[in-house]
Amino acid sequence: MKKITLLFIALTFFSCTNFSGVKEDDYTKIIKANPNDAEAYKKRGDAYFEKRDFERAILDYTQAIKLNPNDMELYVKRGNAYNNVMKRDLAASDSQRAITYYEDKIKREPKNAEAHETLGHIYLGIGVNDKAVTALSESLKLNPNNVKAINARGVAFFSQKDYDSAIADYTEAIKMDPDFDFPYMNRGKIHALNGDYDEAFTDFAKAIELSPNDSTTYILRGYTYLQNEDIDKAIADLTKAIKLSPDNPFAYLNRGMAFLYKEKYSKARSDLLKTLQLNPNDAVKYRAEKLLEDIDDAR
């Protein structure tokens, strides 16, 4: 079988925060006790978002905005949810509102490092990577020790395919905070893309050591094992990811590819059908459908 192209996810601390363990029922109880608690609606929205129940997430973020319209993070979160249900105009409107707010804030407070950083994260979230690099660089001029901003700028460089600059930022972030797992994960991703598998596995192992319950690193390492044609290890990592995050379509998609590689068609079909049930984005949906066609052709 041909080598399988990796499906990598651009990760930032801000836009891909791990909400693992958040239960919407906990916040429903808080909301029943206090229907005006904007933070509870936000947190429940996060729980729905993690479960890929984007419509309910949008409803909760909207209610939180009604209660606290000056919380710009809510517009960013709702914009991300709108993007996932293909409501691009609404997503753009929310993102632009947040951008306008922070651009105005920076005009008033040009030395506000946090405002520059947040603006950079917003641009990164909507794929305007050149402006993300600019905003994050301005933030780092004002606060050069912000490891999360350095990691985020690395992600922006990665999205521009400037892998050398991305690795430099991730490596600097690791030097500044050796216990921060995201730079290891992100640097490992580039090593894998470059075919430097030993370096990739070293970085992924460290990220897992630091954050053993984060399914994303298992998915990335599983992808890399798959690319390296170490299929049993790929299946093991992707199975672990599914246990940690049972509603993640990326894990099922790639385990399905691994089973297909081993010609275990029934298991591959089951995983690919599960992928389609989990409301994946267009690219993942297309890939799953094409692989299901491959299974039909192989039989």
Of the candidate CATH numbers 1.25.40.10, 3.40.50.300, 1.10.1370.20, 1.10.1060.10, the domain formed by 11-99 belongs to 1.25.40.10
Asked whether the beta carbons of 48 and 56 are under 8 A apart, the reply is yes
Q: What pLDDT is recorded for position 52?
A: 77
- Domain parsing of the chain, residue ranges: 11-99
Ranges of residues in the chain with a pLDDT under 70 are: 1-23, 299
Q: What pLDDT is recorded for position 14?
A: 33
Q: What pLDDT is recorded for position 299?
A: 67
Q: What pLDDT is recorded for position 25?
A: 80
Q: What pLDDT is recorded for position 192?
A: 95
Q: What pLDDT is recorded for position 5?
A: 45
Residues 173-222 pLDDT 10s: 999 999 999 999 999 999 999 999 999 999 999 999 999 988 999 999 99
Enclosing H/E stretch for 74? helix 72-84
Residue 24 identity: E
- Measured between alpha carbons, how far is 222 from 126 in angstroms, rounded to an integer? 27
Q: What pLDDT is recorded for position 86?
A: 78
Nearest to 14, CA basis, from 113, 138, 208, 147: 147
Q: Could you tell me the pTM of the whole model?
A: 0.83
- The DSSP letter of residue 111 is T
- Measured between alpha carbons, how far is 224 from 87 in angstroms, rounded to an integer? 32
